[in-house]
Structure formats: structure tokens, C-alpha cells
């Protein structure tokens, strides 16, 4: 058994682990990373963000080919199987793994592939399938083990037609009908992906509207476009039983409804990867969803032990996880540039995309903030017409008196890119973060970015007309 000394051990090589490891190594610390899989990248690269977004892009290209009249000169609309589309995602995953493996090598970070278990707060035992254990000792440990789909005991995930958001990437056929249980971000994304392949979807939501944290208008637009692609949305429903057989899956709802489909996809909640880590030996107790409690510096109740990313819960986004990992490392180093990750833009990769930052109209109304709305519809923007992507809109919420930008919401092609222009202006100080910035700034033409100028002018005109 070999024993190795480090300044910090990072458990997990997803975005949070990578951010923590790289930041620590850049500051001169000796760093080790423990990864339970045989390749770096974590769930984000292999099971979550990267494969699902690569899938979405391929499906979007298929939709464009099958609906654009110009392509009819080439041939008739084509049908593509899910496994064939998945091959595109596999290429992206391979490229991501190669790139991230290079990061660790260039920064002289030792990577151990195996399962990590605490002996005490400063000692981690790494078990391997093909050789003896390694023991890693360090003053500080950062837990960045991510999360996995929540799996209730009364659902048989071993059945060949019942999947979760990880195992769906192993699907070897294209179902004609699919039940997606859970209408959160992941459920809505997969509903739009399979809907784009022509699969008939039943989307089961246990709430009364989709993604209730979104602006009402954006949520309504998503509902409309999912239905427009053959998705039936069933609100305020919960399952009574889920039974698989040789021909498909029968879902029985507590309301008495019965729905049969070729396959079933579970997208209802996630669980932190904290089991079998020996946390009881160091006094760490995860909550009922396997998540660890941290303070506003990502410190757990155990001195020297940090946690970041999905394993701490909100916001459970790859973008935030990377920053959280860096922030945890920064606090550990006692550096002055620490910041708590609080203002996180939402990026939802449905078809079309959704992105937002700041307050919604509902929140501002409840807080009795005097606000006004400026909107730009993509159908009126030259670049969107050129792209052939007329669906969507940009909405800017701003204070009626100070003109300060309070929230920005976008629905449509490239929404997750467009939103960052507004986010940058919102984070300025003084008059620089008012809606006048967009009016007084010259944007390239034609671009999607000019939607900010159009929305700003529309919003100011609403005030001028009162």
C-alpha cells in the first residue's frame, strides 16, 4: 500500500473538481484528484451537459433539414435514429476528455482512478479494481463528487425499457412513444430532443406549470412549442405505479389515468454522490438527497473539508459548479479574490433555448417594484430572419424611475449566448447598468445582439407615452 502526501485532495473531476484542482495547482500547491470513473470529466462530460447538448444540436440540425424548403432540392425529409444521432455526442465527449486530460498533465496534477473513502479528515483511501489501494494524505480536501438521478425503490430501473437521464444515453433504438416523468430542466430538454426526432411524448409534471421559476411568458412559450412538436403535457400528476413488460411501459397515475408507451424516462430529481465515502468517520451527515451543507465560503462543518458543485445542491449547474470549485480553493488559499457564487444565469437547452438572469415580473410585482418592460421579437430581427429562426423574444425588465436593469429573459435560438450581453451590463455600477446603455450603444447589423437595442427603445417608449 503506497502513501502519498499532498496539499489538497479533490474528490471528483467534474466542473467543480476541475475548477478547484486547477486553481490550487496554479497557486503552487501539490494537488491530487480522485475520479471514480476511468476517464476525467465527471457526470457533466459523460452523462449530463455535454452529451445532452450535443444531442440537442444534432436534433436541431435534423429539424432544420426536414422543415427548410430549400433542402427539398436535395431530397425528401429524412428520419434519423436515436443511436445514430448519439454518435455525434460520443465524438464531442472524446474531444472533451482529451482536452481535460491535458489540463491535468500540464499542471502536474496527479489523477487517481478509483473510489475514495475517508479514514479521517486528512486521510483518503483510494480503492482500485486491478491493484492495491493508495492512501492520500492532505491538510485540505474538496468534495466535488457531483450527483446522479434520484432512483425511488418502487421503480425497476433494471427493466430494459425504463431509463433515467444517465442510462438514456445507452438507448439502442428509437421509440415511437416515450413517457418523460418529471418536467424540470432535464425533463423538458429531453422532451424537446425526442420530440424533434418525431417521438410522441407524454410529459408528466407534478406542478401546475412548467419551470415555475421562469418568467411566466417564457414558461408559456415553452409549453406552446413543446405541444407544437407533439408533446402532451400533463400537469399536477404523480405516479401510482410504473410497470414494464416486453412491449413497453404502463404508467398508472394517482388521478386514475393509465398511459402506455414504448419507453419510459425518469427525470424527477437528483441525489448527491456521497454514499460509501466514509463520511460518518469524519462527522459529515448528508441530507435526505445526499447533499452536503456548506457555509458561504463552501466550508463544511469539518475543518479543512470543503464541498462544491452538485453535491451541495443549488444551483446544480455546470457553469456554477466550476466557479464554486474555484471559490472553495480560493478560500482554502486565504486569497483576497474569493467570491460567493450567487448571481447565476439560467441556461435551458430546450428547442428553442431559454436563458434568464435577474428578477422575473412575478417577483418584481410581489415586491411592489415599479418596473417597465421592453421587448424585441426575433421575427422582426434581420439576423433571425436570415438564420430562419424567427421564434423567440428578448425581454428587459427595468426600474421605471432609475432605469436600472432588473431582469433579462430570452427565449429562442442562441438565447444562452445572447443573455450574457445583458448580464455584463447588469453587473456594472451607476448609470452604466441602466437601459440607456443599449440605446446609446451601436450594435453590429445584422446581429442578434441588436435585440437589446430594440427592446430598450420599446421599453423607453412605454414610459414616454404615459
Q: Alpha-carbon dihedral of residues 174, 176, 179, 185, nearest 10 degrees?
A: 60
User: Cα separation of 451 and 208, whole Å?
Assistant: 31
Is pTM beyond 0.75? Reply is yes
Are 189 and 90 part of one and the same domain?
no
Does residue 412 have a pLDDT over 60?
Answer: yes
- Range 299-308 average pLDDT: 97
User: Cα separation of 11 and 112, whole Å?
Assistant: 10
186 CB contacts (<8 Å, ≥6 apart)? 52, 165, 267
Does residue 38 have a pLDDT over 80?
Answer: yes
- Range 307-324 average pLDDT: 94
Are 249 and 283 part of one and the same domain?
no
Contact 450, 424 (CB under 8 A): no
pLDDT at residue 113 in the model: 96
pLDDT at residue 423 in the model: 95
3-state SS of the chain?
CEEEEEEEEEECCCHHHHHHHHHHHHCCCCEEEEECCCCCCHHHHHCCHHHHHHHHHHHHHHHHHHHCHHHHHCCCCCCCCHHHHHHHHHHHHHHHHHHHHHHHHHCCCEEEECEEEEEECCEEEEECCCCCCEEEEEEEEEECCCEEECCCCCCCCCCCCEEECCHHHHCCCCCCEEEEECCCHHHHHHHHHHHHCCCEEEEECCCCCCCCCCCHHHHHHHHHHHHHCCEEEECCCCEEEEEECCCCEEEEECCCCEEEECEEEECCCEEECCCCCCHHHCCCCCCCCCCCCCCCCCECCCCCEEECHHHHCCCCCHHHHHHHHHHHHHHHCCCCCCCCCCCCCEEECCCCCEEEEECCHHHHHHCCCCEEEEEEEHHHCHHHHHHCCCCEEEEEEEECCCCEEEEEEEEECCHHHHHHHHHHHHCCCHHHHECHHHHCCCCCCCCCCCHHHHHHHHHHHHHHCC
Contact 328, 308 (CB under 8 A): yes
Contact 162, 180 (CB under 8 A): no
Rg (C-alpha) for the chain, rounded Å, is 24
Does residue 273 have a pLDDT over 90?
Answer: yes
Residue 88 pLDDT grade (very low, low, confident, very high; cuts 50, 70, 90): confident
Are 196 and 302 part of one and the same domain?
no
Residue 61 pLDDT grade (very low, low, confident, very high; cuts 50, 70, 90): confident
Count of domains in the chain? 3
Residue with cell 479574490: 337
Are 57 and 116 part of one and the same domain?
yes
pLDDT at residue 229 in the model: 87
CATH number of the domain residue 422 falls in: 3.30.390.30
Of 215, 237, 268, the residue that ends a domain is 268
Domain assignment present for residue 338? The answer is no
Are 291 and 145 part of one and the same domain?
yes
pLDDT tens track for 102-134: 999 999 999 999 999 999 999 999 999 888 899
Residue 77 pLDDT grade (very low, low, confident, very high; cuts 50, 70, 90): low
pLDDT at residue 119 in the model: 96
Does residue 56 have a pLDDT over 70?
Answer: yes
pLDDT at residue 258 in the model: 98
Domain assignment present for residue 205? The answer is yes
Are 297 and 430 part of one and the same domain?
no
Residue 75 pLDDT grade (very low, low, confident, very high; cuts 50, 70, 90): low
User: Cα separation of 197 and 263, whole Å?
Assistant: 15
Are 140 and 173 part of one and the same domain?
no
Domain assignment present for residue 74? The answer is yes
Of 248, 268, 288, the residue that ends a domain is 268
Residue 172 pLDDT grade (very low, low, confident, very high; cuts 50, 70, 90): confident
Domain assignment present for residue 383? The answer is yes
Contact 306, 281 (CB under 8 A): no
Domain assignment present for residue 157? The answer is no
pLDDT tens track for 206-259: 999 999 999 999 999 999 999 998 899 999 999 999 999 999 999 999 999 999
CATH number of the domain residue 230 falls in: 3.50.50.60
Are 30 and 109 part of one and the same domain?
yes
User: Cα separation of 314 and 308, whole Å?
Assistant: 10
Contact 215, 357 (CB under 8 A): no
pLDDT at residue 208 in the model: 95
Are 107 and 230 part of one and the same domain?
no
Domain assignment present for residue 339? The answer is no
Tell me what the pLDDT averaged over the chain comes to.
93
List the end-to-end C-alpha distance of the chain, in Å, as a whole number: 78
Of 28-32, 66-70, 340-344, which one has max mean pLDDT?
A: 28-32
Residue 87 pLDDT grade (very low, low, confident, very high; cuts 50, 70, 90): confident
Residue with cell 457526470: 43
Are 255 and 275 part of one and the same domain?
no
pLDDT at residue 330 in the model: 96
Domain assignment present for residue 337? The answer is no
pLDDT at residue 74 in the model: 67
Domain assignment present for residue 154? The answer is no
- Range 322-339 average pLDDT: 94
Residue-number span of the structural domain to which 196 is assigned: 162-268
Are 258 and 286 part of one and the same domain?
no
Of 238, 268, 298, the residue that ends a domain is 268
Does residue 348 have a pLDDT over 60?
Answer: yes
Q: Which residues, listed in sequence order, are joined to residue 3 by a DSSP beta bridge?
A: 135
Are 191 and 291 part of one and the same domain?
no
Does residue 261 have a pLDDT over 90?
Answer: yes
Does residue 174 have a pLDDT over 60?
Answer: yes
Amino acid at each position: 500500500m503506497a502513501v502519498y502526501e499532498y496539499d489538497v485532495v479533490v474528490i471528483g473531476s467534474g466542473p467543480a473538481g476541475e475548477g478547484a484542482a486547477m486553481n490550487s495547482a496554479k497557486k503552487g500547491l501539490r494537488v491530487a484528484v480522485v475520479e471514480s470513473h476511468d476517464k476525467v470529466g465527471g457526470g457533466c462530460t459523460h452523462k449530463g451537459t455535454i452529451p445532452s447538448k450535443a444531442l440537442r444540436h444534432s436534433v436541431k440540425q435534423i429539424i432544420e433539414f426536414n422543415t427548410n424548403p430549400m433542402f427539398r432540392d436535395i431530397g425528401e425529409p429524412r428520419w434519423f435514429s436515436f443511436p445514430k444521432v448519439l454518435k455525434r455526442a460520443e465524438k464531442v465527449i472524446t474531444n472533451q476528455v482529451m482536452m481535460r486530460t491535458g489540463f491535468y498533465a500540464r499542471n502536474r496534477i496527479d489523477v487517481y482512478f478509483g473510489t475514495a473513502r475517508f479514514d479521517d479528515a486528512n486521510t483518503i483511501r483510494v480503492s482500485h479494481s486491478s491493484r492495491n489501494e493508495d492512501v492520500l494524505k492532505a491538510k485540505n480536501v474538496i468534495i466535488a463528487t457531483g450527483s446522479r438521478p434520484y432512483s425511488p425503490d418502487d421503480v425497476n430501473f433494471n427493466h430494459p425499457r425504463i431509463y433515467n437521464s444517465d442510462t438514456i444515453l445507452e438507448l439502442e433504438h428509437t421509440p415511437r412513444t416515450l413517457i418523460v416523468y418529471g418536467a424540470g430542466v432535464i425533463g423538458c430538454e429531453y422532451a424537446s430532443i425526442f420530440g424533434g426526432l418525431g417521438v410522441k411524448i407524454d410529459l408528466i409534471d407534478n406542478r401546475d406549470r412548467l419551470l415555475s421559476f421562469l418568467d411566466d411568458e417564457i414558461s408559456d412559450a415553452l409549453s406552446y412549442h413543446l405541444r407544437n412538436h407533439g408533446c402532451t403535457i400533463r400537469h399536477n400528476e404523480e405516479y401510482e405505479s410504473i410497470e414494464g413488460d416486453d412491449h413497453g411501459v404502463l404508467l398508472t397515475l394517482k388521478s386514475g389515468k393509465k398511459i402506455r408507451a414504448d419507453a419510459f424516462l425518469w427525470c424527477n430529481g437528483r441525489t448527491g454522490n456521497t454514499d460509501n465515502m466514509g463520511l460518518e468517520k469524519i462527522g459529515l451527515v448528508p441530507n435526505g438527497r445526499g447533499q452536503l451543507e456548506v457555509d458561504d465560503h463552501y466550508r463544511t462543518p469539518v475543518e479543512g473539508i470543503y464541498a462544491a458543485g452538485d453535491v451541495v445542491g443549488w444551483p446544480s449547474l455546470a457553469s456554477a459548479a466550476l466557479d464554486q470549485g474555484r471559490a472553495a480553493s480560493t478560500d482554502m488559499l486565504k486569497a483576497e479574490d474569493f467570491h460567493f457564487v450567487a448571481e447565476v444565469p439560467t441556461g435551458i437547452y430546450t428547442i428553442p433555448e431559454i436563458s434568464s438572469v435577474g428578477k422575473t415580473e412575478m417577483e418584481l410585482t410581489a415586491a411592489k417594484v415599479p418596473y417597465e418592460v421592453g421587448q424585441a421579437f426575433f421575427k422582426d430581427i434581420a439576423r433571425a430572419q436570415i438564420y430562419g429562426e424567427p421564434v423567440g423574444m428578448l425581454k428587459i425588465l427595468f426600474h421605471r424611475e432609475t432605469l436600472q436593469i432588473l431582469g433579462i429573459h430570452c427565449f429562442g435560438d442562441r438565447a444562452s449566448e445572447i443573455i450574457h450581453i445583458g448580464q455584463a451590463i447588469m453587473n456594472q455600477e451607476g448609470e452604466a447598468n441602466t437601459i440607456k446603455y443599449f440605446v446609446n450603444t451601436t450594435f453590429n447589423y445584422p446581429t442578434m445582439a441588436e435585440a437589446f437595442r430594440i427592446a430598450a427603445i420599446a421599453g423607453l417608449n412605454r414610459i414616454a407615452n404615459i
